[in-house]
Amino acid sequence: MLHRMPRLTQAPNLAIATLWADALRVEGIATSVQRQFLSSVAGELPPDQCLPEVWVTYPEQEARARVVLHHLQHVPQRRWMCVCGELVEGGFEQCWNCQAWMPPV
């Protein structure tokens, strides 16, 4: 049976595409990374046509994949004061200075 593999997204680079695909696989969503090696021909082809892409293998997993990807791309940014006195900003849940975990919100 043939089915249409939907393209989920284009990534800014191969590292990000691979991270997104791996995270989706951990969630049970079958994915593949396409255009992994086209960066070497950027200039010969338009740069936006050479970016890696993440594709979902099974169309019925596309909606869930889009939700998971949205959460990967929109990590909550927090600002909290650690018990050691260090101000921790961004998506970090652990203090870089003393390795204490962020207190519950």
Q: Report how far residue 103's alpha carbon sits from residue 20's, in angstroms, rounded to the nearest whole number.
A: 27
**Inside any domain, residue 1:** no
My answer on whether 65 and 82 are in the same domain is no
Q: How many structural domains are present in the chain?
A: 2
Q: What is the pLDDT of residue 55?
A: 97
Token pair of 59 as six digits:
């169309």
- Do both 57 and 89 map to the same domain? no
Backbone region of residue 47 per phi and psi (left: phi > 0; alpha: psi in -120 to 50; beta: other values) = alpha
Q: Report the 10 Å Cβ neighbour count for 16.
A: 16
Shared-domain flag, residues 35 and 85: no
The residue among 4, 7, 39, 37 whose CA lies nearest residue 20 is 7
Are 66 and 85 members of one domain? no
Same-domain status, 51 and 23: yes
Q: Are residues 37 and 66 in the same domain?
A: yes
- Measured CA to CA, the distance from residue 100 to residue 94 in angstroms comes to 6
Query: Which pLDDT does position 37 carry in this prediction?
Result: 78
Q: Strand, helix or coil at 7?
A: strand
Same domain, 68 and 96: no
pLDDT on residue 90: 85
Predicted confidence pLDDT, tens digits, the chain (105 residues): 567 899 999 999 999 999 999 999 999 999 999 988 777 676 677 777 889 999 999 999 999 999 999 999 998 788 999 999 999 998 889 999 999 999 987
The reply to whether 48 and 88 lie within a common domain is no
**Can you spell out the DSSP letters for 10-37?**
E-SSHHHHHHHHHHHHHTT--EEEE-TT
Domain for residue 2, yes or no?
no
What domain range is 97 assigned to? 77-105
Q: Is the same domain home to 35 and 58?
A: yes
